[in-house]
Structure 1
């Protein structure tokens, strides 16, 4: 029997339509949402990120934060498919020390009736002049409505970057290899994710990157490619394509010595545009 204080017809309608909306989007969100790379720079390259090194590497490939030499902080927001209920907010903090680099990040996806949260604490170290290794512990939480409570668990991610040559970097990223469950009662497991990427710099002004992604809840291997061109000292233009999901992306960046602002959007073949903005600061 429902308690009157916790149930009303209006609340039932909201929950019903939220469930229907999420079920419709599930095939698309399993390849995105909290599992997408963070930062508008990566979004402008159609989510290529594994072989790059910036503040958002704490989420995209923790090995990349070993290349950051100053205390840094960043925040970003993505509006998936221009829906007011499908926003993702990101924050990240990077703190280098003599023995390596620490990083923290948090992601929040959704709204009051349904949301997911992921918080991570990572550490990376430069093992040699051309090898970086990183690890991140993650706390996952999913909440539905205001009467069903929330469920949570812990998992981890591993990252590796290798400078193959002066202009070529290879990156590997593995998230949740043990495929944890959010609840003991549910048989459904959080997906594992594997990415392999290569970045090649043709010149100081031109960077290209390619990436392959496999998600255990998304059968096809997704292939991505992106290009970043620096027109002047502070201005960058980016574009990318992918074999599935967000099939096209573009964006730009304005980089000063201690500030970096990036704005981009991806285009899904069925659901439309997902604009994203991020701001990075170094101290």
Structure 2
């Protein structure tokens, strides 16, 4: 049996194509890296506010939600949890396998309040951000709840390959009105802690987010929020959750500026809640995600 070898001309073309593909991947990864450094330095709150598929699908207008993932966008939402729960989240950022975001939460409701442990990570090869948090939330009355969190945030700076970190503090409150409307407020990093390296400084400005959730009929709930930081960056958020069945939801949302839109679905079966979402960034494209919540 004779094995045919490709001509040298075609082998050269194939090698060039492979090299070009690897170069394109490297170029895209470097672009993502510098884009992250520029955007997260100016508006760090957006990094954590969309750390699950539910929040993503409603445009980040999640400051009133009561889920285990509330540990990322308003710890007061943990106070309404009644069962031991665990949740995980995965997002493929901008449709590239080299860039992912993941998070996980474990919540323990007790008579004194709800405790939660969380972990969050995002990045690409050579560049990562990590956050580890401990949160506590408590009901202060039949309608008012509050929560706080201490966390440690780390960055692997590309210029020297070393990790630098800082301790962060955040807190929030949630209030339920008689007509099932809810109000929420969340304050992130009020002391303005930031991460420094040899050649770089990653600013985490103090940020405030306020929002509301209110029903429109029996099957539709809408969410609105506004966020801003001390550097003068402001953003509006809006979304809806349409629930035609007790176990199924359709969601959509917008946020900006720049304008980002998202859509998602949710399905609840027994102890498992599954949420899927797809968001679109005006510059970088689409990002699919999935969240799984286990109520034990």
Indicate the TM-score class for this superposition, using the shorter chain for normalisation: 0.7 to 0.9
- For structure 1, which runs of at least 5 residues remain unmatched after alignment? 1-13
Query: Kindly tell me: are residues 155 and 149 of structure 1, through their superposed partners in 2, closer, same or farther at Cα, counting changes over 3 Å?
Result: same
Q: 1:7-51 deviations in whole A, cap 9, x for unaligned? A: xxxxxxx99985554224544445467333221111110111101
For 2:271 and 2:159, locate their aligned partners in 1 and report how far apart those are by CA, in whole Å: 42
The aligned counterpart of 1:153 is 166
The aligned counterpart of 1:168 is 181
Query: Does the CA contact (< 8 Å) of 2:152 and 2:168 recur in 1?
Result: yes
For 2:52 and 2:194, locate their aligned partners in 1 and report how far apart those are by CA, in whole Å: 27
Matched, 1:113 2:126: yes
Matched, 1:144 2:157: yes
After alignment, is 51-60 or 124-133 more displaced? 51-60
Query: Does the CA contact (< 8 Å) of 1:167 and 1:202 recur in 2?
Result: no
Counterpart of 2:270 in 1: which secondary structure? coil
Matched, 1:22 2:19: no
For 1:91 and 1:151, locate their aligned partners in 2 and report how far apart those are by CA, in whole Å: 22
Q: 1:223-248 deviations in whole A, cap 9, x for unaligned? A: 11101011212110001112323521
- Considering only aligned residues, what root-mean-square deviation do their CA atoms show, in Å? 2.3
Query: Does the CA contact (< 8 Å) of 1:40 and 1:278 recur in 2?
Result: yes
- For structure 2, which runs of at least 5 residues remain unmatched after alignment? 1-24
Matched, 1:273 2:286: yes
The aligned counterpart of 1:37 is 50
Query: Kindly tell me: are residues 221 and 125 of structure 1, through their superposed partners in 2, closer, same or farther at Cα, counting changes over 3 Å?
Result: same
Task: Using the TM superposition, give the Cα deviation of residue 187 of structure 1 relative to its aligned residue in structure 2, in angstroms.
Answer: 5.3
Task: Using the TM superposition, give the Cα deviation of residue 111 of structure 1 relative to its aligned residue in structure 2, in angstroms.
Answer: 3.0
Q: Quick one: which of 197, 211, 220 aligns to 1:197? A: 211
For 1:174 and 1:87, locate their aligned partners in 2 and report how far apart those are by CA, in whole Å: 26
Give aligned pairs, total: 269
Query: Kindly tell me: are residues 131 and 46 of structure 1, through their superposed partners in 2, closer, same or farther at Cα, counting changes over 3 Å?
Result: same
Query: Does the CA contact (< 8 Å) of 1:250 and 1:266 recur in 2?
Result: yes
The aligned counterpart of 2:194 is 181
The aligned counterpart of 1:104 is 117
Query: Which protein shows a greater Rg?
Result: 2
Q: Within 5 A, what are the aligned runs for 1:66-85? A: 66-85=79-98
Q: Quick one: which of 228, 233, 246 aligns to 2:246? A: 233
What TM-score, normalized to structure 1? 0.87
Matched, 1:134 2:136: no
Task: Using the TM superposition, give the Cα deviation of residue 85 of structure 1 relative to its aligned residue in structure 2, in angstroms.
Answer: 3.2
Counterpart of 2:94 in 1: which secondary structure? helix
Counterpart of 1:155 in 2: which secondary structure? strand
For 2:194 and 2:156, locate their aligned partners in 1 and report how far apart those are by CA, in whole Å: 14
Query: Does the CA contact (< 8 Å) of 2:49 and 2:72 recur in 1?
Result: no
The aligned counterpart of 1:8 is none
